[in-house]
A and B are shown apart, each in its own frame.
Chain A
Amino acid sequence: DTAVSQTPKYLVTQMGNDKSIKCEQNLGHDTMYWYKQDSKKFLKIMFSYNNKELIINETVPNRFSPKSPDKAHLNLHINSLELGDSAVYFCASSRATPNYGYTFGSGTRLTVV
């Protein structure tokens, strides 16, 4: 059983399109996150949700809109895709406090052409 699963694994799309990435965790964790890994491998948090409530929004363009229908799911919708959005997007989850660690999904490689 995959703990944190993301779909799709690869996404190639044209500039200007709108796309979504889905994430689900079956660990019973309360908090979920989206991270972006750029071409230089740098990982930066975008959003975090705790039990469906937005907790962290790290100066991400408002073209990016996370949605959490329940605490096991956190989806990322991106409007009007730009070339600079090309990256690997990782979903992660954790319990309420950091000492339990964070579990990451396998990533979604988004390529905007």
Chain B
Amino acid sequence: AQSVTQPDIHITVSEGASLELRCNYSYGATPYLFWYVQSPGQGLQLLLKYFSGDTLVQGIKGFEAEFKRSQSSFNLRKPSVHWSDAAEYFCAVAYNTDKLIFGTGTRLQVFP
């Protein structure tokens, strides 16, 4: 079955530190890959997406993600975290069925 795993439920970092949020997907075919962010009480905002080409994709707010086929991973990174980055982050995948499958989310807490 198609699934997405975000192994880290909760991550805490200091402001200015680097960040990496992990995401792994199952299934053999290369899916379309997405990262969304949800601030408290808000909807979902697309950070970045990958479907082909360069495996390192740049997104909004200084985020980037790298697709690694050999590891079935699509980890999200940011070199220097800001307090406003505190939110819930969701990795998601889609295949040709048009169904977006979400991971369980990683809650990011940022300390000053």
- A51-106 contacts to B, CB under 8 A, are 55-56, 90, 92, 94, 96-99, 101-106
A4 to B90, CA, bound (A): 19
- Min distance, Cβ A96 to any Cβ of chain B, angstroms: 8
The answer to whether A50 and B98 have CB atoms under 8 Å apart is: yes
- A98:B105 contact, CB within 8 angstroms: no
Contact A107 B100 (CB under 8 A): no
Contact of B43 among A40, A55, A104 (CB under 8 A): A104
Question: Distance in Å from the Cβ of B60 to the closest Cβ of chain A?
Answer: 12
Specify the main secondary structure of chain B where it touches its partner.
strand
Q: How far is the CB of A105 from chain B (nearest CB, A)?
A: 6
Question: Would you call the interface of chain A mostly helix, strand, loop, or mixed?
Answer: strand
Report Cα–Cα, A45/B42, bound state, in Å: 18
Contact B43 A33 (CB under 8 A): no
- Taking A41-B88, A45-B99, A98-B98 as contacts, is the C-beta distance between A90 and B44 under 8 angstroms? yes
**B51 contacts chain A at the CB level, 8 A cutoff:** yes
Known: A41-B104, A94-B98. 7 other contacts (CB 8 A): A41-B107, A42-B102, A43-B102, A43-B105, A56-B98, A101-B34, A102-B46
Mark B residues whose CB is within 8 Å of A: 32, 34, 36, 38, 42-46, 49, 51-52, 88, 90, 94-102, 104-105, 107
Complex Cα spacing A106 to B38, Å: 10
Chain A residues with a Cβ closer than 8 Å to the other chain, count: 27
Question: Which B residues lie within 8 Å of A105 (CB)?
Answer: 43
Q: In the complex the two chains form, is B43's CB within 8 Å of A31's CB?
A: no
Contact of B100 among A41, A45, A96, A97 (CB under 8 A): A45
* Complex Cα gap A40–B106 (Å): 11
Cross-chain contact of A107 among B43, B46, B49, B88 (Cβ < 8 A): B43
Q: Which residues of B contact A90 (CB under 8 A)?
A: 43-44
- Are A102 and B34 in touch, CB under 8 angstroms? yes
